[in-house]
Amino acid sequence: MTFSEDCQIKINQTLQDLTLEEKCTLLSGKNMWETAEIERLGIRSLKTSDGPAGVRGSKWTDGTHTTNIPCGISLAATFDPSLVERVGNILGSEARSKGAHVLLAPTMNLSRSPFGGRNFENFGEDPYLTGKMTIAYIRGVQSQGVGACMKHFVANDMETRRFNMDQTIDERTLREMYLKPFEMALETQPLTAMTAYPKINGKHADTSRFLVHDILRKEWGYEGLVMSDWGGLNSTVESILATTDLEMPGPPLRYGTALMEAVQRGEVSESQDVDPSVKRLLQLLTKFDCLGEPQHDDPASRTNGADPGVFTNVMAGEAESDTPQSRQTTREAASQGIVLLKNDHVLPLDANWIQKLAIIGPNAKNPTLGGSGSAIVNPYYTTTPHESITNLAKQTNPDIDISYEQGVLTHLQPPLIGHCLTRPGSGIPGVQVDFYEGDRFDRNIVATSNWNDSFVYLMSDGDVPRSLRGTLFSYKANGVLRPSVTGAYDFSLSNTGKAKLYIDDELLIDNTNWTEISGNFMNCGSVECFVTKVLEAGKTYNLRVDNIVVPPPTKPHDNTLFHKVSGVRVGMLFKHDEDTMFKNAVAAAKNADVVVLVVGHNNDTEREGSDRTSLSLPKRTDELVSAVCSANSKVIVVTQSACAISMPWAEEAGAIVHAWYQGQECGNAVADVLFGLVNPSGKLPVTFPRQIEDHGSHKWFPGDAETDKAEFGEGVLVGYRWFDAQNTEPLWPFGFGLSYTSFSIDDISVEGTVGGSHSKNAIIKATVTNTGGVQGSEVVQVYASPSSEISASGYAAAPKSLACFQKVTLSPGESKTIDLLLDAQAFRWFNDPAKARPHEQSRWRVDKGIYTCFLGTSSREIIRELEVLVE
């Protein structure tokens, strides 16, 4: 960041005017989302907001509405940085409307394993693709006057014991794979960065001077603010010495008073350690006019002399800004990320030729819109595959006969019950929460809050009455339940603390003495407790949960936040005859001309806080797919997941469409692709293995949860690199995706050579022609071979690595010549000093020689091999 002379004077003067206590206070949040303020010096709070899939605002659940964009892995599947930048524009604009200065996104970690619970946030398994998507995302966000936050620095790629896992990663792997996207992103000048939860080679990221100070700041020259992940500041002294600037959230535990006392003891230097961090924070505050007198009237002052920047004042409130343009961009991004994996002349559908259409599957009416945890948002609206497919089909053919069957139940938890639960005396959906002092529920109600569903999550400061914060307290969640069908219902309760579930004052579940942890409430909640009760349709029942707030019985971990949150979750599900459901689905398939079968993971089976343990889809899903495919030869299987899944039925399906998690436009995007309104052009940003044993991470992921030790034993052979090195055939390769049209790529040539510096590049030219009958897009990919010196130095080497790509859209018969640039970065490798030969001095190397480059449409579909000279 660069500033005018006047701004520098103001920043330096403010730094001098601050007391030591004020400096240490500034270096931590005052609450869940805001930094501290110093009124006497005109220092105002900076507001942050999650997150990668939409701008949540200050409330974790039931907050203001926002645009729910496709998840990160779906954005990566577009292979279209310009489209991702437009999505970033939406996020930046909506962050401003919600009064946020910094959006806590993008997530830049790698999908190292298909089992990673947070893979939905990532941009895939390849560091170059991740870097390119990140650059576009950050550029879009920051163009709207909002700061982006590149996270999580670094190697936050698993959820198992994520607060304590000690990950052993050799330096070459760390630099070539996991650090690379962050290094690439620096060209956008991201205003902030966030450290990761796990330990890397013995030290938590926020305490690692090697990672934060030596690499990020000194080697790469990063001058922006570095904050901890929430509850992830692990040391007072080591963190500030590593130059981690800001502890989040507040109030402070390891900075604040603790940091001031460390300075007074001589463990930390005020001038050398504290002041630089405070100055970086003041510079960020200056960007947003949060330092000194607000300058509302002078448009020229909005950047406060900073260059570059349109970092204008943001509003204090949280407004909603749903626009036709953002809806259209989100729909485009959602459909462009969908990957067509197989098509035996089934797609696109033409409703005019279909008399009976069967829509089957648990995700057809209840799709997974996005991930959990930091990715939870309250969308302006939702669309479902069932609704959107039905609407599109009937627009073309009003007489089409459409049937629906769910087939199987796949959620591990019964769904929330807000649709038939209302607050007492109001008729408004949700529950009323009454707060009490102490643990006996025998005093006056201190305060009351309302929640929109049977899920109460006291995460933010505003969720708990001020007078109760830091004390022993309890609460009752009350609602009026009115079922629509008579029969037996399964009720479930998951909670932190000591909770009891009542219906009409009858105790149904006593979960006060639980000991087994689940993934609920960020790994701090109980496993589900179940009970069955018969209810009558139309009758009202008083549902109540009493919860005493006490810490959960979790295995000790280093996080300072999540064991303090409190919540209850009540689910309810009509007790179905699952065998009958299954048979009805197969019968519907047998009776239909065409079947659309929508299956996949959900927020129970793929979530932040826990890792998957199997490639398989949820219970009985594979069985359902095979049975439906046996009953009908024209079955389009639409799958939803954030990473690879097994497909034992792949040969049986007529078509396979992988749809990720597309946010609020999920249903519309799927329907647009199935009926040919959009020609699919998504490409896989991850490799799908035939079996998990084929995947490079299998032997080492997730590590040992008992000892909190993990080894990244596959090294640089992440994803497709491992499959190539082992000569193993994947189910679907990285970069793969079909289209409704066809393409040819001809006239391929190389111009120029690559120099050892950034100033000399080679260009691969190719002419792409749409040889089919409809407009479509192709992604041309170039992979580079490794230096021969890598093997000579005793390292493992990937046979090829993605070096550049370009997406081109063409009308039928149209041709376009594209240029694919190769610079020295495509051929460099890191010579780990721990393994370097005595005469070798340089760490990063670009070795001269002739390299083979592979041009194709996936990592396995190579059209031409070319020789590129590196001087």
Catalytic residues, which ones?
229
Dist CA 72 CA 134 (whole Å):
10
- CB-based contact 246:229 (threshold 8 Å): no
User: For the chain, how many residues are written?
Assistant: 871
Dist CA 120 CA 371 (whole Å):
6
End-to-end CA distance of the chain: 35
Q: How far is CA 429 from CA 235, 288, 432, 455, 797, in A?
A: 44, 38, 10, 12, 58
Please enumerate in sequence order all residues whose Cβ is within 8 A of that of 422, keeping only pairs 6 or more positions apart, or say none. Answer: 428, 429, 430, 479, 480, 482
Q: Which two three-digit tokens encode residue 518? A: 């689940």
Parallel, antiparallel, or unpaired: how do β-strands 635-640 and 594-600 relate? parallel
- CB-based contact 685:660 (threshold 8 Å): no
Q: How far is CA 810 from CA 82, 274, 858, in A?
A: 16, 56, 19
Dist CA 592 CA 631 (whole Å):
9
Q: Which two three-digit tokens encode residue 145? A: 């006057």
Q: Which two three-digit tokens encode residue 232? A: 């992830």
Dist CA 672 CA 7 (whole Å):
51
Q: Which residues pair with 208 in a beta bridge?
A: none
789 φψ region: left (φ > 0), alpha (ψ -120 to 50), beta (else): alpha
DSSP structure string for 6-70: HHHHHHHHHHHHS-HHHHHHHTBBSSSSBB--BGGGTBPPPBEE--TTS---S-SSS---B--PP
Q: Which two three-digit tokens encode residue 430? A: 């949700």
Dist CA 85 CA 144 (whole Å):
11
Q: Helices 666-674 and 324-337 meet at what angle, rounded to 10?
A: 60
Q: Which residues pair with 570 in a beta bridge?
A: 493
Dist CA 373 CA 22 (whole Å):
33
DSSP structure string for 769-805: EE-SSS-EEEEEEEEEPPPHHHHHTT----S-EEEEE
